[in-house]
Amino acid sequence: MADEGVDHPGLIVPVGHVEPVPRRIRAQVGGRWVFDTRRARYVWEWPGYPQYSIPLRDLAEGVLTDDGRVGRLGPGPARRHSLRVGSEVREGAAWVWDEGAPAELIGTARFRWDALDAWYEEEEQVFVHPRSPYTRVDALRSSSRVRVEVDGAVLADAPSSVKLFETGLPTRYYVERTHVDWTLLRRSDTVTTCPYKGRTSEYWSFARGPVVREDLAWAYDFPTVSCAAVAGMVAFYNEHVDLYVDGVLLPRPTALSRAQWDKGQRADS
């Protein structure tokens, strides 16, 4: 049964789930292709999103050396390896699955995302982590009026919006910049990336007198093709503002901390 306090679909993939990746997966270190495979596997180490596991026989450059450290990731035991590519050495770059892991993973390695310089699905670069085949991201034009307030100050009041629906996350409401009160916002240096939407172009913080609320709003000027409808528009964190949709104040969703969202990445440390 769904949690009555949550207004969006949850994540349903269990830890340890393995699926084939029907895409060409490549990654680089120092401009060299470390691997090039059409036989990768998705493996879920936590329900939020999968990692790629790469067949060892598809390594194109570099050598993996056993660090002598055995660990247990969500799906099972693995041995940590470092990667050497030319003169580049990436310590603890990969976990090679050991006996006791799912049979589909034996003979493959799960590379730490930030140990490699760039990842590609087919010809498109992928950021942060693989795109989950079970996650939908839909950006739909809507006639819903959206008003955003912080401490009684109106940051935006828009007669229409684009609603972005992403599995496992609250609905995000994007509004045109012409309906935002820019006198209450100041630009920050924050940049974030998303495997589904791309790289943010700007973030803004609320600033009124001595009160500052960091990074409440953001925009994607050049989002991925699938999210083109939000290009140039502004969204606000539902978790940290009072958000009215068609005159109704929405309950604030529980803020998901960055530490929680990065749980799968932290398994490497």
Q: Model's pTM, two decimal places?
A: 0.81
SS3 of 125-152? EECCCCCCCCCCEEEEEECCCEEEEECC
| Distance (Å, whole) CA 83 – CA 92 | 7
Number of Cβ within a 10 Å radius of residue 158 = 21
Residues 162, 176: contact at Cβ < 8 Å?
Answer: no
Mean pLDDT of 54-65: 92
For residue 69, pLDDT beyond 70: yes
For residue 209, the number of C-alpha atoms closer than 13 Å in the C-beta half-sphere is: 3
Residue 182 DSSP SS3: helix
Cα 112-114-116 angle, rounded to 5 deg: 85
For residue 174, pLDDT beyond 90: yes
Residues 148, 117: contact at Cβ < 8 Å?
Answer: no
pLDDT of residue 59: 95
| Distance (Å, whole) CA 230 – CA 200 | 11
pLDDT of residue 4: 53
pLDDT of residue 5: 58
- CA distances (Å), origin 71, targets 90, 92, 221, 269: 18, 12, 41, 10
Give the model confidence (pLDDT) of 94-111 as tens digits.
Answer: 999 999 999 999 999 999
Number of Cβ within a 10 Å radius of residue 118 = 14
Taking alpha carbons only, the member of 155, 130, 154 closest to residue 264 is 130
pLDDT band, residue 257 (cuts 50/70/90): very low
For residue 164, pLDDT beyond 70: yes
